[in-house]
Amino acid sequence: MTHKERILRHLAGEPVDHLPMIGGWIMGVRNLAQIGGISVEQYLADPLAGVVQANRRLRVDGMVPYIIPHELEEMRTGSLQESHFAASEPEAVLERAEQIPASEEAVRAKHIPDYAGLEAVYREHFTSLQAKLGDIALIPNFWQAPANFSLYFEYGYEAFLEATALYPEALERIWWESGVICQVHNEIIVKLIREYDSVPMLFTGHDICNNAGPMCSPAMLREYYWPHVKSGLEPYVEAGIRLIHHCDGNVMPLIDDMIDAGFSGFQGFQYECGVDPAELRMRRSPHGEPIILLGGLSVTRTLPFGTAEDVHREVDYCLDITDGGKGFFLFTSNVTGVEVPPENIITAYDYLYNHNPQTTPPRQTTCHRPPALEIDPGMAVVR
């Protein structure tokens, strides 16, 4: 069974020899070199090849377009410093909204003047990534698929959050424009997923929550944001392509809104924030299928601080709540940091690889979440 066949059969609810595993989000040059069985010098000579080699050694079936550390001491990816937005004011959001064209046609003409050129860019993306992965299946990942909630990257958190309170109608207009643009991009991506016979799954989503919950009220998002996400994602839902939402923080108050917008799976459930994947599995997708779960491996507790037994327990928990792994793809809850012992990553993937869902009898468990680990409060976690 090829990697792609395994993923496709699993998505269709058909028997597989072992449950599919996803890779691509591992930090740390030393970690990747150790997992890949190569020297640090070999890794640094060709970091992309080193990342693919490490994931191949983990025997993953698919890869989300990957994290590639290029420097020996590189510890994280992505960062937003609020100090960079000291001069930003919420009125900038209002001014931007006032400049948006009045019709969808005008928005498309302004932002997508060269449709053929845009399609060519996406086509190159698909062909080049898959060529680099070889027989490992590409799991398409486009963060820009839904309307852009993450305006804090442009205005900073303070100005953006003030705007959600002062100018929600202006934000909605920006999100409407974003949704119109997204729909055109998504129509092209759907076309190419079909043309290249890629895995009918898309990994996307914006960070809308912190550890306590949504950055702004669910009611505000329901009125002003989610309708434009839903319209932009329609091409995927109509094509039967499963949409997986990346979930940082406590997303539980937004799960039903995400599903209504078109999402049918989740990645990144953080146990420590109160996210309960067992509860997620009680929902159904917009087409009625079981919810897909990508994850299971906590990058803040189990992987950095746990034992092999803790790692096994966390994988077992995901198997329990998914009735033996139905709709479950092993992945990490976020990018694993340099503080994660490579042995724990290898242990997790080896453990699931050797689990045969056809011959392993169901275990009698209580389906409780893995217990909290005893962690020294002085040990910092780099995210």
Question: What 3-state DSSP class applies to 285?
Answer: coil
How confident is the model at residue 372, as a pLDDT?
53
Label residues 255-293 b or e (16+ Cβ within 10 Å = b): bebbbebbbbbbbbbbbebebebbebbeeebbeebbbbb
d(CA 290, CA 281): 7
**pLDDT given for residue 361 in this prediction:** 57
What is the chain's pLDDT, residue by residue, as a tens digit (383 residues)?
A: 999 999 999 999 999 999 999 999 999 999 999 999 999 999 999 999 999 999 999 999 999 988 999 999 888 766 678 888 889 999 999 999 999 999 999 999 999 999 999 999 999 999 999 999 999 999 999 999 999 999 999 999 999 999 999 999 999 999 999 999 999 999 999 999 999 999 999 999 999 999 999 999 999 999 999 999 999 999 999 999 999 999 888 999 999 999 999 999 999 888 888 888 999 999 998 888 899 999 889 999 999 999 999 999 999 999 999 999 999 999 998 899 999 999 999 999 999 999 988 776 555 454 455 555 544 434 333 33
Q: d(Cα 330, Cα 108) in Å, to the nearest integer? A: 38
Query: What is the reported pLDDT for 371?
Result: 52
Do residues 178 and 147 make contact, with C-beta atoms less than 8 angstroms apart? yes
Compute the radius of gyration of the chain from its Cα atoms: 21
- Nearest CA-CA partner of 262 in 292, 291, 242, 283: 242
Token reading at 344: 């724990």
Which residues, 6 or more positions from 220, have their beta carbon under 8 angstroms from its beta carbon?
164, 168
Q: Residue 343 belongs to what H/E stretch?
A: helix 342-353
Buried b (16+ CB within 10 A) or exposed e, 221-233: beebbbbbbbbbb
The number of angstroms, rounded, from the C-alpha of 155 to the middle of its chain's C-alpha atoms is: 23
pLDDT at position 272 is: 87
Give the pLDDT score at 90.
95
Q: Are 330 and 297 in contact (CB under 8 A)?
A: yes
How far apart are the C-alpha atoms of 99 and 101, rounded to whole Å? 6
* Distance of alpha carbon 146 from alpha carbon 86, whole angstroms: 28
Q: State the Cα–Cα distance between residues 215 and 203, nearest whole angstrom.
A: 22
pTM for the whole structure:
0.90
Q: Give the separation between CA 370 and CA 316, rounded to whole angstroms.
A: 9
Residue 360 confidence (pLDDT):
64
CA distance 186 to 129: 18
Tokens of 74: 């590189």
> How close are the terminal C-alpha atoms of the chain, in Å?
36
* 65 contacts: CB under 8 Å, gap ≥ 6: 24, 129, 138, 139, 141
How far is the CA of 8 from the CAs of 15, 20, 137, 173, 198, in angstroms?
A: 10, 9, 10, 38, 10
CA 326 to each of CA 102, 176, 218, 336, 383: distance values in angstroms, whole numbers, following the listed order: 46, 36, 30, 25, 30
Kindly provide the b/e burial profile for residues 156-190, where b requires at least 16 CB atoms within 10 angstroms of the residue's own CB: bbebbbbbbeebbebbbbbbbbbbbbbbbbbebbb
CA angle (283 as vertex; 301, 335 as ends), nearest 5: 30
Amino acid letter, residue 334: N
